[in-house]
Structure 1
Amino acid sequence: MPTLTKLYSMEEASLHDTKDDCWVVIDGKVYDLSSYLDEHPGGDDVVLAVTGKDATDDFEDVGHSKSAIELMQNFCIGELDTSATVIPELEISSKKETNNYSWNLMELTKQYWAAPVAIVGISVVAGLVFLHKK
């Protein structure tokens, strides 16, 4: 009887991105490495850097041994569902929000006008004094 493989979306895998709940995707397979972090020879920080992400390139760049690849199978919990394409949501700002940003910028400009004006004023006075002494 064939074993049923659990399919996970990349979105679902990305939700497991903490030290206590650490999933990574490598070569289309999903691994739960939560219980292995303390034992990982490279330290837990290298695994945590790719937690909740597709770590295939990072995994291959390191050049893991055959025994490491065999050990990985103990942590495999399923496969990545490639049928669900992930389309990132676009953030669309309204004119009202855009106007709000420009209003905030104008307010900041009004509040902090004194410093540039003082610098220009001091420069002009210093230039006049310097020219007057020549």
Structure 2
Amino acid sequence: MPTLTKLYTMQEASEHNTKDDCWVVIDGKVYDVTTYLDEHPGGDDVFIEVTGKDAADEFEDAGHSKSARELMETFCIGELDLSSPAIPELEIVKKKQPTDLAQKLMDTTMQYWAVPVSVVGISVVVGFLYLRLFMH
């Protein structure tokens, strides 16, 4: 009788991301490496950094030995459910902001147009009064 394989979503696997509860996904398999963190020659932080994604590239880049690969299988708790979506990305909504100084200055000037218009208007009136009073 075939063994039933437990399926996990990437969301489920990513929720186990601490030193006290750490799962990693490598090549579509889910591993609970919590009990191995202190023994891992590369340290526990390498596991914590790769939670929430398939860490196959990082695993292969480290050049693990055959015995390391065999040991890894003892921590396998299931497979990644490929029919479920990956971790949903948060929609980041931010107010559109000008990116360069000229645009910021233009926007600020447009927002406060009354100040420069008032300065120009007062200057014109003062100039006109000056000419009328002192030129006659």
What range is the shorter-chain TM-score in? Answer: 0.5 to 0.7
Runs of 4+ in 1 over 6 A off after TM superposition: none
TM-score, normalising length from structure 1? 0.65
CA radius of gyration, larger in: 2
Q: Retained in 2: the 8 A contact 1:27–1:56?
A: yes
Q: CA deviation at 1:79?
A: 0.2
Q: CA deviation at 1:53?
A: 2.8
Q: Secondary structure of the residue that 1:39 maps to in structure 2? A: coil
The 1-side partners of 2:73 and 2:35 are apart by 14
Q: Secondary structure of the residue that 1:48 maps to in structure 2? A: helix
> Counterpart of 2:20?
20
Q: Secondary structure of the residue that 1:83 maps to in structure 2? A: coil
State yes or no: 1:88 paired with 2:110. no
TM-score, normalising length from structure 2? 0.65
Choose between structure 1 and 2: higher helix proportion.
1
Q: Retained in 2: the 8 A contact 1:22–1:52?
A: no
AA paired with 2:73?
Answer: Q
Percent same amino acid among aligned pairs? 69
The 2-side partners of 1:55 and 1:68 are apart by 15
> Counterpart of 1:39?
39
Aligned length, in residue pairs:
100
AA paired with 2:62?
Answer: V
Q: CA deviation at 1:52?
A: 3.5
CA offsets, 1:23-56, max 9 Å, x none? 0000000000000001111121222221343211
> Counterpart of 2:59?
59
The 2-side partners of 1:12 and 1:31 are apart by 12
> Counterpart of 2:2?
2
* Contiguous gaps of at least 5 residues in structure 2: 98-107, 109-136
Q: Secondary structure of the residue that 2:17 maps to in structure 1? A: coil
Query: What CA RMSD, in Å, does the superposition of the two structures yield over aligned residues?
Result: 2.3
